[in-house]
Amino acid sequence: MKSKGSCICTGAYSLFDCLTQNGVEHIFGYPGGAILPIYDELYHWEKESLIKHILVRHEQSAAHAADAYARSSNKVGVCFATSGPGATNLVTGIATAKMDSIPLVIITGQVARNFIGTDAFQETNIYGITLPIVKHSYTIKNPKEIPLVIMEAFFIAQNGRPGPVLIDIPKDIGLEELEPYNYIKYKNLYKKNYNTNLIVTKTLLIKTLFYLIQSYQPLLYLGGGVLRSNSGQFIHQLSRIFQIPVTTTLMGKSSFNEIDTLALGMLGMHGTAYANYAVSECDLLIVLGARFDDRVTGKLDEFACEAEVIHMDIDFKEISKNRYPQFSIIGDLKIIFQKIFRIIKNIQLNELLHTKNWLKRISKWKKNYPIVLKIYKNSEQKLTPQNIIYKINKTYPKAVYTTDVGQHQMWSAQLINAKPKHWLTSAGLGTMGFGLPSSIGAKVANPNKVVICISGDSSFQMSVQEFGTVSQYNLDIKMIILNNGWQGMVRQWQESFYGNRYSNSYMRNGMPNFEQIAAAYNINGINIFSSHLFHSEYLKLLMSSTNTLMVFHIIENENCYPMVAPGRSNSQMLGLKIDG
Is-contact 428 100, C-beta < 8 A? yes
* Measured torsion, CA atoms of residues 169, 175, 176, 179, in degrees rounded to the nearest 10: 100
- Quick one: which of 550, 487, 483 has its CA closest to 515? 550
Please name every residue paired with 526 in a beta bridge, in sequence order, or none if there are none: 550
Taking the C-alpha atoms of residue 412 and residue 456, their distance in angstroms, rounded to an integer, is: 11
Q: Which residues, in sequence order, are CB contacts of 159 under 8 Å at separation 6+?
A: 194, 196
Annotated catalytic residue within 121, 210, 338, 537: 121
What DSSP state is assigned to residue 34? G
Helix residue ranges per DSSP H, 396-474? 407-415, 435-445, 457-460, 467-472
Taking the C-alpha atoms of residue 98 and residue 90, their distance in angstroms, rounded to an integer, is: 12
Annotated catalytic residue within 122, 243, 465, 572: 122
171 is catalytic: yes
- Quick one: which of 38, 92, 101, 25 has its CA closest to 63? 92
- Quick one: which of 304, 240, 246, 303 has its CA closest to 275? 246
- Quick one: which of 541, 478, 483, 480 has its CA closest to 512? 483
Annotated catalytic residue within 28, 41, 59, 158: 59
Taking the C-alpha atoms of residue 554 and residue 552, their distance in angstroms, rounded to an integer, is: 6
Annotated catalytic residue within 489, 507, 550, 573: 489
Annotated catalytic residue within 171, 391, 443, 478: 171
Is-contact 63 106, C-beta < 8 A? yes
Q: For the chain, report the end-to-end CA distance as a whole number of angstroms.
A: 71
Would you list the DSSP string of 110-177? E--GGGTTTT-TT---HHHHTGGG-SEEEE--SGGGHHHHHHHHHHHHHSSS--EEEEEEEHHHHH-B
Q: Is 448 helix (H, G, I), strand (E, B) or coil?
A: coil
514 is catalytic: no
Taking the C-alpha atoms of residue 133 and residue 358, their distance in angstroms, rounded to an integer, is: 42
Taking the C-alpha atoms of residue 209 and residue 218, their distance in angstroms, rounded to an integer, is: 12
In degrees, rounded to 5, the angle at the alpha carbon of residue 255 between the alpha carbons of residues 254 and 256 is: 90
Q: Which residues, in sequence order, are CB contacts of 64 under 8 Å at separation 6+?
A: 93, 96, 431, 433, 434, 437, 438, 441, 463
59 is catalytic: yes
Q: How many of the other CB atoms lie within 10 Å of CB of 259?
A: 8
- Cα separation values, 261 from 83, 243, 414, Å: 52, 10, 16
Q: Which residues, in sequence order, are CB contacts of 498 under 8 Å at separation 6+?
A: none
Beta strands 164-170 and 77-81, pairing class: unpaired
Active-site positions? 59, 121-122, 171, 489
